[in-house]
Amino acid sequence: MKELRIKLTPLEPYFFGGERIFEINDSNKHYFIRSLKYPSQTTLFGVLRYLGIKNFSKGFCLDADDIKNIGESSFSLEESKKYGKINKISPLYIMDEEEKIYIHTPFDCQRESVKKDTKSYTPFEKYSESVLTSNGWKRFPREYDAKKGIADSWLSLSSLETKGDLFSEVVRVGINKDLDENAFVKKAFKRLKEGFSFVFYAFVEDDFEISKERVVYVGHGKSAFRAEVTETNGNEHKGWQDKVKKIVSPNMVYAQSDIYVSQEKVSDIYQQCEFVCVKIRNFRNLTTRIAKTDVRARYERAKKTTLLIQAGSVFKPHAEGKEKFVEQISKNGIRSETAGFNQIIIGGVKNEEAHI
């Protein structure tokens, strides 16, 4: 197996849709919609599969060699599949011009001051005595300031500085010519700060075929990104994870990627923790029907909405429930780990135990 680093540099403002997007064959439900700041794990997985296509046909169908290389169908959280010679991908990172890596700042710290672009990462240290809540016994950080909120930034693994200014917004106005009413719309595109790129790692079979450099069109509106693929020494990603492990507070569980947990299990997972700081978002998978050429038939959104615990979230399990907590996160991620979901790191433990 070999390790590949895939670097995605936006060539223009982009739009990554969440639940509030324009629906195909639907009326304009939302007058103003705003792009997500960064691509989802499924988007990254789709980019990898696209880079693994060698033979593009006029009908957008994959030939036998491409199917053998990347698999036949799109990623799905609903079922376990084999995707050709692709084993799995990593969580998302951001990289600067000096190839320094940034991760989601763990949520167990205060939001940056609005007067500063950078600030050192300082996790909460002082917690209250245990308090009985509807979700069991919990402890709360004494240093938390509700007026500032929790971290919303990216953390340098080299300097431990956080950056909250990596994204800006570009608002564009449009008219849906197919509608007689409610046709006026506004879309807020995102722009990644110049000199920065999105990065993820792919773990593939040694004979996996991939384009080393290609322009790919990603997101709602198909914005252009330059994709650059580099084969690493096989341990580059593990090196970054080892650094993350040293940063995360002892026995704190850090969600390096979004976490998929069935809704009936969420409360049980929270019950096993003495401290939880998470953000939740809605997610619906978009499936590509390779054989279809018409855009309305080619793409299909999942019928059910899935709740994801966002990357950057942190958990501190009760000492007696730690193993069960980690097991439940891992078990729920059996189908999703291929696309880089459910990747957690435990702080303050031996390296071989730190990465799940």
Q: Which of 113-122, 160-169, 243-252, 326-335 has the lowest mean pLDDT?
A: 113-122
Number of structural domains, the chain?
1
Buried b (16+ CB within 10 A) or exposed e, 72-86: ebbbebeeeeebbbb
Q: Quick one: pLDDT at residue 352?
A: 46
Can you read off the two tokens belonging to residue 172? 């564009």
Angle, CA of 18, 19 and 20, to the nearest 5°: 95
Report the mean per-residue pLDDT for the chain.
84
Residue 195 gets the label, from left (phi > 0), alpha (psi -120 to 50) or beta, of left
Place of tokens 């990104």: 225
The domain in which residue 152 lies consists of 2-354
**Beta-strand relationship, 184-192 and 32-34:** parallel
> Are 335 and 317 contacting, i.e. CB atoms less than 8 angstroms apart?
no
Sequence-separated (6 or more) residues with CB below 8 Å from residue 102: 93, 94, 95, 96, 154, 155, 156, 157, 163, 166
Q: Which of 48-57, 115-124, 196-205 has the lowest mean pLDDT?
A: 115-124
**pLDDT tens across 242-274, in order?**
999 999 998 899 999 999 887 777 888 888 899
Q: Quick one: pLDDT at residue 25?
A: 44
Can you read off the two tokens belonging to residue 170? 């570009």
- Side chain identity, residue 286: L
Whether 118 has a pLDDT exceeding 90, the answer reads no
Q: Quick one: pLDDT at residue 291?
A: 54
End-to-end CA distance of the chain: 19
**pLDDT tens across 132-147, in order?**
888 788 999 998 888 8
Q: Quick one: pLDDT at residue 185?
A: 77
Can you read off the two tokens belonging to residue 93? 């990172």
Whether 88 has a pLDDT exceeding 60, the answer reads yes
Q: Quick one: pLDDT at residue 82?
A: 87
Rounded alpha-carbon distances, angstroms, from residue 160 to 103, 153, 246, 343: 10, 12, 11, 21
| pLDDT band at residue 81 under the 50/70/90 scheme | confident
| pLDDT band at residue 24 under the 50/70/90 scheme | very low
Report the percentage of the chain scoring pLDDT > 70: 82
Residue, of 159 and 18, whose pLDDT is higher: 159
Q: Quick one: pLDDT at residue 174?
A: 73
Whether 15 has a pLDDT exceeding 90, the answer reads yes
Strand partners, 155: 103, 162
Secondary structure of 213-263 in HEC code, one letter for each residue: EEEEEECCCCEEEEEEEEECCCCHHHHHHHHHHHHCCCCCEEECCCEECCH
Report the percentage of the chain scoring pLDDT > 90: 50
Can you read off the two tokens belonging to residue 291? 């054989």
Per DSSP, 157 falls in state T
Q: Which of 7-11, 257-261, 352-356 has the lowest mean pLDDT?
A: 352-356
Helix (H, G, I), strand (E, B) or coil at 90: coil
Q: Quick one: pLDDT at residue 351?
A: 47
Counting beta carbons within 10 angstroms of the beta carbon of residue 282, is it exposed (0 to 12), middle (13 to 18) or buried (19 or more)?
exposed
Whether 58 has a pLDDT exceeding 80, the answer reads no
Rounded alpha-carbon distances, angstroms, from residue 299 to 57, 187, 295, 307, 335: 18, 21, 6, 21, 21
- Side chain identity, residue 294: D
Distance CA 330, CA 352 (A): 16
Count of CA atoms in the C-beta half-sphere (13 A) of 208: 27
Q: Which of 136-150, 189-203, 217-231, 294-308 has the lowest mean pLDDT?
A: 294-308
> Are 41 and 340 contacting, i.e. CB atoms less than 8 angstroms apart?
yes
Q: Quick one: pLDDT at residue 320?
A: 82
Whether 292 has a pLDDT exceeding 70, the answer reads no
Q: Does the reported pTM lie above 0.75?
A: yes
Report the run of H or E that residue 101 belongs to, with start and end.
strand 101-104
Distance CA 330, CA 127 (A): 28
Can you read off the two tokens belonging to residue 90? 């990593």
Can you read off the two tokens belonging to residue 189? 């595109």
